[in-house]
Amino acid sequence: MSLLEIHDLDKSFHTNNGLTHALKNIQLTIKNGEFITIIGPSGCGKSTLLKIIAGIDIEHSGSVKIDQKEVIGPSIDKGFIFQEPRLFPWFTVEKNIAANFSLNDIKVRKKVDELIKLVRLEGFKKAYPKELSGGMAQRVAIARALLRNPKVLLLDEPFGALDAFTRSHMQEVLFDIWQENRTTMIFVTHDIDEAIFLANRVIIMNARPGTVQKVIRIDSPYPRKKSNKSFQDFRHLVLNEFDKTDELELVDRAGI
């Protein structure tokens, strides 16, 4: 069953240098429960596309629908995880997750406790953001979004600032969360290995203007090991979709 449908999506910006065409003729259909990753060179419109799906940016042409309803603005059925956690520094972990919900509500308390366990933060519910690592803080942000039972969780390079070890760990945590909840996830990244490790399908974008160049289905079974031949075969397939300039940028950003 289709959850998200995008048809004929175009997005332009007016700048000092004139009109910049950010996205052109985007056509996408995403099924309920899919894990989608979006990858492409800087400036190809990945984050812009995510903001349009979230309803943060509604100045565009074309159609974006979730459950057959046009996206006209932000709403609780679309969770958004930014590159930084954006936690309230004066709130504990459990209060950050609950946010505007009361922990005195038995149902909220139960759900918060379940999410703390799901994101592997048992023993830290009374901790403050300054006491958390970057990866732990992002787990709080993910739990906060999941508390509202979004139909789709949008993640804009959420692990980009983490070291390699923490990033790898967070990929496994996020995969576990997806397997447990089957929340539809759309994940923007520059990291080819991350894209393949997580996704059912990888969407490859071109720049200037941003277009969908290729959609690759990753039919390798979970859990995936990056050292396996099948994983490396998909990696080469993704790399081959880019011209030399874009390929070199992706290789550099992926730390290969």
69 located within any domain: yes
DSSP assignment letter at 130: G
**Main-chain dihedrals φ then ψ at residue 150, nearest 5 degrees:** -70, 150
109 located within any domain: no
69 pLDDT above the threshold of 60: yes
Q: Confidence class of residue 221 from pLDDT cuts 50, 70 and 90? A: confident
35 located within any domain: yes
> Residue 213: which residues within 8 A CB-CB, separation 6 or more?
40, 204, 205, 206, 241
Q: Which domain, by its residues, includes 8?
A: 2-77+150-189
65 located within any domain: yes
Per the DSSP assignment, residues forming a β-bridge with 67 are none
How is residue 125 written in tokens?
A: 């519910």
**pLDDT for the residue numbered 255:** 40
162 located within any domain: yes
The mean pLDDT value for 60-74 works out to 94
- The CATH number of the domain where 39 resides is what? 3.40.50.300
178 located within any domain: yes
Q: Confidence class of residue 243 from pLDDT cuts 50, 70 and 90? A: low
Structural domain total, the chain = 1
200 pLDDT above the threshold of 90: yes
What are 148-170's pLDDT values in tens digits? 999 999 999 999 889 999 999 99
**pLDDT for the residue numbered 41:** 87
Helix (H, G, I), strand (E, B) or coil at 78: strand
User: What global pTM score does this model have?
Assistant: 0.91
208 located within any domain: no
211 located within any domain: no
